[in-house]
Each structure stands twice: as C-alpha cells, then as structure tokens.
Structure 1
Amino acid sequence: MTNVDMWFDPKCPWAWIASRWLLEVERVRDVRVRFHVLSLALLNKDREVEDWYREWLDTAWGPARVAKAVEQKYGDPRAVYTALGNRIHLEKQPLGRDLYTAALAEADLPVELADAADSTEYDDALLAGNQEGLGPVGEDLGTPAIHVTMPDGSVNAFFGPVVSPTPRGEDAGRLWDGVLLVSGTPGFFELKRVRTSPVVN
C-alpha cells in the first residue's frame, strides 16, 4: 500500500480535479489517499496579486476554514471535501452558510462547524497546514500539493498534476504511474505546456 497525502483548497478547481483523479487511482492502484486542507487565501494574504484573483481569494476563506475545522476535530476531511466540492465545482452553488451547512450535513458532521467560515479560530492551523503541505514542494506554489511516501520511507512531493478533465479508470492509473516516474527522477523539476481547454470536471 502506498500512502498519498494531498493538500487542497476547497475552492481550487485544479485541486478538485486532482482529488477526483486520486480517488480513481485508489480504485486501480494499491494507493490510499489522505486529504489535508491548504488555504490559498492565507498563502496569498500579503502578496501582490491581480485584482480578479484577490476577489477570488477573498471568497476562499470560508470553505477552507470550514474544512480545516472538520480536519482538526475529526481527521481526514475527505467526506466534507466531496460534499463541498460537488456544490462548489459541479453545481456552482453560491458560497455561504447554506452551502456549508448542507455539505456538513451530507458528511454527517455538526452543522455548527459552519461558524468557522467567519472565524479566525482555525487560521493558525491553516498556516501550519500550508507549511506542512508546501514545505517540501515550494512556498511559491499552491494546490494540488501531493506527498507520496515511497517504500523506502522517503517522500516524493510535488505540485500538480494540473489536468482537465478528470482521468478515469485505467487512464487515471497510467497518469499516476507517469507522475510517479517523472517526479521521482532526481533533478527533475518541471514539465509544462500552455492550457488549451477550459476546466472540465
């Protein structure tokens, strides 16, 4: 069994697709994924970014804080991430308390955790999660951040993959094999091309 840890921001569409890909990988490879929260709003709090991205980030605090509250109290936030992500990315529901309480209820979690969206109570934990997820990858990156614990105990950490739409079945497995191969190659840092299609979940 290969243990994989993925850091996600609930609002990030690329992290959402990567998380759905990893769930497919679990089905076709001997892999177990654990999910962790990373806040892009916190990561970019003091950075100069374009106006459109600042507006996007300003609305990303709520879902990240709710997911972090779940992670702190109940462990792996897989179920609430799926419930949040379906609403945010597939159903395009407006962010807010109604979305958070519905997602928490679907995940059989206390709806009172929605209060975290407007609280700084979990921001120190968010910062610690950011540092843990991005430390081995690079603080200038973001989500998805993935750490793979290799058989020898070493950790292969990387940002990505950025892919759309979500690979399914054996296509997901082949992408996994390739990502492990290139990211595990000493001295390998980047493989990239221009995006030619919109985000498709």
Structure 2
Amino acid sequence: MADTPGNVTTIDVWVDPRCPWAWITSRWLLEVERVRPVRTRFHIMSLSVLNENREVPEKYRQAQLEGWGLVRVCVAAAQQHGEAVLRPLYEAMGTRIHLEGAGLGRDMMLAALRAVALPDMLVDAAEDTGYDAAVRASHHAGMAPVGGEVGTPVIHVPGPAGDRIAFFGPVVTPAPRGEAAGALWDGVVTVAATDGFFELKRGRDRDPSFS
C-alpha cells in the first residue's frame, strides 16, 4: 500500500481541532508512525460545517459559532505558509484545548500560533468569513468520499488498486500505544480494503480519555 518514496504509506486525516475523538485518533496515528512505515498528513474539516442546519443541543451552540474561528485560522495558516504547518498547528491547538482546557477563543489560538512560530496576525482570520469557502472545500474533500452520515475523524489511505480508500474513524479511547497501535492500523487497513465492507460499530460507553 505504499504511495510515497521509500515504501512509506501516506495517511490523510481530516480533523477539527475542537473534536476530542479526532484528537485521540490523531494520537493513535502518530503512534502508528513509530511502529509502521507510514506518515500522516493533516487536513481540516469543520464540525460547524458538518452540523449546519442540524438541531444540536443548546450546550453545543456556542461551540458551533466559536468553531469557525479555529478552522479559519488553520486554513489561513495553510494558505500563507503551506499545508505542512497544519500538523504542528493542530498539535498546538489540540494540546491547549484537550489537555489544558484552554477553550476555543482568541487567547488560545494566539498561544498556539506563537508555539509554532507563526505570525500573530493569523489570529485575525478567525473573524474573516473570506476563508469560509476554503474551509468548506477542505471539509468536502475529506468528507464527500465517505458520505454524509459520518463525523470526524475521516481517514484516506491508498487502496490495493492504487485508488484512495476513505473511511470514518477509528473512534477509540484511549489511543493504543506501541505495537497495539500498529495492530489496530493493520486491522483497519484490512477491513477498509475489503470490497463491499461498509460498517462495523458498537455503542460507546466511555468518554474521551487523553491518557
């Protein structure tokens, strides 16, 4: 399944910085990089786009509004400094949001930008609707191949015929470590590459764990 020089497989993952489940999956993918010849590229999807025109619980309404700022800043950073900045910027935002409880506001975004040596002025993109078309384009590039009934994370991997296989998940908590991470990756690739395979799911009985 290698699609890059040196037999390294490229995993493309679409994430929203505010999604705890995507954060855990991203931790798993970074662990997979340690035990398998893979490299993860990060892209932006948006829970605010995903949940447009849907009824959401009142406690999530403010996050729906604030969530636009995060993805606008990410897209602006990628446009001005290259797609490669998304990985460290997502890391910086996710650490502050999920591990430090820093919220979704301007101060958090500014601290994240500074942590990865990006200009402070990028934080102004949070209020700039001019980036929304690019947010939507990135979102749909990741989500459209999977279908409209899934959330985040979404992963694209190279298939056996040279195409890309897109799927939702895996949703897991906490992130597996070491060879357990590699074994999960092996299983995910196997089922995703099986012609006609669509879904394997059970109800969640745990909250996200970042340990």
TM-score, length-scaled by structure 1: 0.95
Alpha-carbon separation, structure 2, partners of 1:72 and 1:43 = 22
What residue is the counterpart of 1:75 in the other structure?
83
Specify the alignment match of 2:10 in structure 1: 3
The separation in 2 between residues aligned to 1:9 and 1:148, in whole angstroms, is 19
Q: 2:129 aligns to what SS in structure 1?
A: coil
| Residue of 34, 38, 44 corresponding to 1:37 | 44
Aligned partner (choices 115, 122, 133) of residue 131 of structure 2: 122
Note if 1:104 corresponds to 2:113.
Answer: yes
Equivalent residue for 2:202? 193
State the Cα distance separating 1:137 from its structure 2 match: 0.6
Q: How is 1:137-148 mapped onto 2 (pairs within 5 angstroms)?
A: 137-148=146-157
Conserved 8 A contact 1:2-1:151: no
2:65 aligned with 1:65: no
* Counterpart in the other structure of 1:173: 182
Give the SS at the match of 1:42: helix
Contact 1:38–1:133, Cα closer than 8 Å, also in 2? yes
Tell me how many residue pairs correspond in the alignment: 201
Provide the C-alpha distance between the structure 1 equivalents of 2:60 and 2:104, rounded to a whole number of angstroms.
16
What is the deviation of 1:121? 1.9
CA distance in 1: counterparts of 2:97 and 2:140, whole angstroms: 25
Deviation digits for residues 96-128 of structure 1 (CA, Å, limit 9, x no counterpart): 111111101111111111111111121000110
Asked if the contact 1:36/1:71 (under 8 Å) is kept, the reply is no
Matched-pair contact (CA < 8 Å) for 1:8–1:36: yes
Distance in 2 (CA, whole Å) between partners of 1:183 and 1:55 is 35
2:141 aligned residue (125, 132, 137): 132
> Quick check: 1:154 aligned with 2:167?
no
* Map of 1:49 onto structure 2: 56
SS of the residue 2:43 aligns to: strand
- Structure 1 runs of 4+ with >4 Å offset: none
1:134-187 per-residue CA deviation (whole Å, 9 max, x = no partner) reads 111112322101000235421111000110001111111011001111111111
TM-score of the superposition, structure 2-length normalised? 0.91
Consecutive unaligned residues of structure 1, counting only runs of 5 or more, are: none
Q: Secondary structure at the match of 1:80?
A: helix
How far apart, in 2, do the equivalents of 1:54 and 1:95 lie? Answer: 13
Unaligned runs of 5+ in 2: 1-7
